[in-house]
Amino acid sequence: MIDFQRTNELVPTTAPLAESLRRNGGTPLHLDWFADARVNRSAVERRAATLTTRRSIKKEYQAAWLVKAVTCIDLTTLAGDDTPGRVRRLASKARRPIRADVVAALGLSAAPPTVGAVCVYPTMVGPAVKALEGSGIPVASVATGFPAGLTPLPQRLAEIRYAVDEGAHEIDIVITRAHVLLGNWDALYDEVSAMRQACGPAHLKTILGTGDLKTLRNVYKASMVAMMAGADFIKTSTGKEDVNATLPVSLTMLRALRDYGERTGVRVGFKPAGGLKTAKDALTWLMLMKEELGRPWLEPKLFRIGASSMLADIERQLEHFVTGRYASGAHHALS
């Protein structure tokens, strides 16, 4: 059993923190906030390389952090052969991401953890909403011509509105990478602002497609513009690029989050996605969030992990903590 007070990582967020969170209303486009921005790639890479060497999380602390990671996962299926049946299976796993006997051994039976959200294509939103009814787990939908985002803007906005009408609580949009590569910040700002308006009450998670942006400086600038335009989250990748979430890219985006927060007083969330597959990856990104932004960003309101296969490895590690043995992957339900 995990001693929650000792580990202090599973203690629920306090009411004042929860009440202080508000949606990002955005700002006018301030080019001077980032026009002279510089990113020292060597320094960023050195900082990222030392992240896992400076902190070691073991035993009950590691178990507590892994349970925390589960609550921040956007459990995802974005396959061409998705069906309502697959989505229902995913929703069942989202409700019970950790096997009941492991939950009991961890002392979590009174309040079993669930994942942060379920992420699907727009046509699968309806089945996901129905399957998750009463669970409190939000449904996220990709939109705007995911993953390339190269369909006409009216069509992309219509796709957002369709997903929201189907019941999506969160919309993961993709930007036009060409706006970043050409330095057309007005066009990027106007695009994301229009998408934010189309979302209505749904939260906007802006995917930058960082693997396509070429430089960390572009990543920083795109992050700032997306937040000015009203993004509630900024997200690294679609998972379809050649290079997806990396520590240097994530660190650059977190520094942009911090700078935006210092200027506006608004907390914007962060979501790494693509290439995160293991429990070790989950711990690494949790460490990054804790060290760069602090304890508030260890909650699903401000941190999500886009993943589909990671959950199985986390569950396997938690079973090892409970039993001292590693189970075969066949012992854990597919997500």
Mean pLDDT of 155-180: 98
pLDDT for residue 19: 38
Asked whether residue 22 is domain-assigned, the answer is no
> What does the block give as tokens for 142?
């990709």
Q: Please list the active-site residues.
A: 172, 235, 271
Distance CA 312, CA 66 (A): 12
pLDDT in tens, 191-223: 999 999 999 999 999 999 999 999 999 999 999
Which CATH number goes with the domain that contains 291?
A: 3.20.20.70
Lowest mean per-residue pLDDT among 24-33, 47-56, 234-243: 47-56
How many domains in the chain?
1
pLDDT for residue 259: 97
pLDDT for residue 278: 95
Mean pLDDT of 67-82: 96
pLDDT above 70 as % of the chain? 91
Mean pLDDT of 147-170: 97
Domain of residue 259 covers 42-327
Mean pLDDT of 32-46: 95
* Cis previous bond, 154, omega within 30: no
Asked whether residue 192 is domain-assigned, the answer is yes
Mean pLDDT of 293-304: 96
| Averaged confidence pLDDT in the chain | 92
Asked whether residue 303 is domain-assigned, the answer is yes
Asked whether residue 213 is domain-assigned, the answer is yes
Place of tokens 């892994």: 66
Asked whether residue 184 is domain-assigned, the answer is yes
26 sits in which H/E element: none
pLDDT for residue 309: 87
Q: In the predicted model, is pLDDT for residue 100 greater than 70?
A: yes
Higher per-residue pLDDT: 174 or 334: 174
Distance CA 228, CA 75 (A): 28
* DSSP string covering 238-279: -S-SSS---HHHHHHHHHHHHHHHHHH----EEE-BSS--SH
Asked whether residue 15 is domain-assigned, the answer is no
Asked whether residue 268 is domain-assigned, the answer is yes
